[in-house]
Structure 1
Amino acid sequence: MAAWLGTFWDVYSNLVLSVGTNALLALSIWLTLACGMLSIANAGFMALGAYASALLTVDLGWPFPVVLAAGMAAPALMAFLIGKPTLRLSGVYLAMATLAFGEVVRIVLLNADAITGGALGLNGIPQLTQWWHVALALVAVLLLLWRLRVSRIGRAFEAIREDEVAAGLMGMDVDGCKMLAFVLGAAIAGLAGALNAHLTFFIGPDEYGFDRAVEILTMAILGGIGSLTGPVLGAVILTVLPELLRVLQQFRLVINGLILVLIVLFLPRGIWDVARFRQWRDAAARRRP
């Protein structure tokens, strides 16, 4: 058994750790969706965290914990700066603005050859990320978001998502709650980027483009945003699925888009829908003699 586990880990360790980093990304966009904001900037925030941490490691040799903190701080600061004008928008306009921000980040990384390596990316990043780093980060983020969700701020998020105008009339700080969700989501995406950069040895601008942004959104929508379990489940499915369908790897984006369309049509609340599970349980209880 031990030999089998060792062989499995040698072959699939990167896949397992990628599940963890993708779960962090799905949770980062869940946070903004929970506050009623359709933000698609998380790929850009992930890029900022990845490049900031990688450059500090390669060029300056900073300790890994400090590098991870910097990988979270850089996108959080950027989110705060762009959040002031951007969060005045809503719906599809907010999605377009945040998507444009992600593309700006990618283009800047692509053209800043002297710092980022340009199209060639950054090579030779030390593989410092261990399994317990990813596990600890995921558990810490889940605990933080769970505590936030059951707090007064979490209830304010829910009220803003349901009706922003009514929440404002009830005295809630709508702008402050939106900014908090936006900045915290950016920090979590940056953490995922920093962990991923020190896992894969190499990062390049093309990894953080439109395709990545859609993939992160699909993870959260697929699993469901009604609970913290949903985004994690969506991340597991969309990370493992390409391995199971390796022969269709070139159609990965088509498959992701098809999944998103089917989920929106038939499971609008995602796979992990607590309300639907309760209905099934109550129906089963009524059928019992």
Structure 2
Amino acid sequence: MDWFNNFWSIYSNLVLSLGTNALLALSIYLTLACGMLSIANAAFMGIGAYTSALLTMNYGAPFPAVLAAGMAAPALMAFIIGKPTLRLSGVYLAMATLAFGEVVRIALLNAESITGGALGLNGIPQLTQWWHVALALVLTLALLWRLRRSRVGRAFESIKEDETAAGLMGIDVGAYKMLAFVLGAAIAGLAGALNAHLTFFIGPGEYGFDRAVDILTMAILGGISNLTGPVIGAVILTLLPELLRAFKDFRGVVNGFILVLIVLFLPKGIWDPARFRQWFGKRGGRI
């Protein structure tokens, strides 16, 4: 077991980051599954991270309560901003949620007495264990799988295909979009709370535009036709920089080139069951 102990001491943070990034990819999968292009998930992650870290550092709150608060705070914020922003769609919704993300980042930057400003929060207790991340991911996948197969999931799919037609069929489009937006924010906040108690330090720069694009890329890269795609996308996007360390200064270039190739040749994502069925069907026909 010495080899495992050595591996875990070196790569434990990376392995646990796979889980938190998978949660982030699933959080934006929810809004995409409802036909909404929201780029606020990085901001929701930041709200969850700061809320949980402050409760731990200033009040010594128990970890389960901290995680619950890390989910509740961004969910409440999503409900508040969802009223005006979810009336928008497409690129206009993306711009509105992107602006919200910048507002959150600047607020964290300027509230120095609470958030530490540009210096962030240091010395956050490392309370996140591997089973916390594993349990959170399993429960989230189970919830979303059940949601997909329920009346709510069918309503999400209808809204995604044609919002007007869904409304004419009696589906409360506004309520379902709000549900997806709030639930996605809660999952992003959970990822932020777990990550904050894993890395010892958080700062406003971690929850800006770059992180928002990374979260969106994870879901699109893996594919949003089912729950497997976002998880695969998160794993690939997390591991690629580590696997490309040999390229040193050119690592970012090679990383971007690989992602471009995947998007060009696999436009529906890496995990596309329809493509697999078609491919295996052709092989079966030949046989």
TM-score by length of 2: 0.97
2:78 match: 79
What SS does the aligned partner of 1:225 have? coil
Task: State the match for 2:69 in structure 1.
Answer: 70
Answer yes or no: is the 8 Å Cα contact 1:47–1:208 preserved in 2: yes
Aligned equivalent of 1:147: 146
Match of 1:285 in 2: 284
Gapped regions of structure 2 (runs ≥ 5): none
* CA-to-aligned-CA distance 1:142-173 (integer Å, 9 cap, x gap): 00000000001001101111111111111111
Q: Is residue 124–residue 201 contact of structure 1 (8 Å, CA) maintained in 2?
A: yes
Q: Distance in 1 between matches of 2:30 and 2:251?
A: 26
Q: Aligned letter for 1:239?
A: T
Partner of 2:17: 18
- What is the aligned partner in structure 2 of residue 91 from structure 1? 90
- Label 1:249 to 1:31 Cα distance change in 2 as closer, same or farther (>3 A): farther
Other structure's SS at 2:121 match: coil
Is contact 1:218–1:260 with CA below 8 Å preserved after alignment?
no
CA distance in 2, matches of 1:28, 1:112: 27
Q: Residue 226 of structure 1: SS of its match in structure 2?
A: coil
1:158 corresponding residue in structure 2? 157
After TM superposition, list the pairs within 5 Å mapping 1:139-218 onto structure 2: 139-218=138-217
- SS of structure 2 residue aligned to 1:16: helix
CA shift in 2, pair 1:53/1:221, >3 Å: same
Q: Which residue of 2 aligns with 1:273?
A: 272
Between the aligned partners of 2:229 and 2:42, the Cα distance in structure 1 is 19
Q: How many residues align?
A: 287
**Counterpart amino acid of residue 50 in structure 2:** Y
Partner of 2:54: 55
Matched AA of 1:106: R
Deviating more after overlay: 60-69 vs 257-266:
257-266
Unpaired segments of 5 or more residues in structure 1?
none
CA 1:250–1:197 in 2, change beyond 3 Å: closer, same or farther?
farther
> What is the TM-score when the length of structure 1 is the normalising length?
0.96
The alpha-carbon deviation at position 284 of structure 1 amounts to 1.0
- Quote the Cα distance in structure 2 between the aligned partners of 1:84 and 1:39: 14
The CA RMSD measured in Å over matched residues stands at 1.4
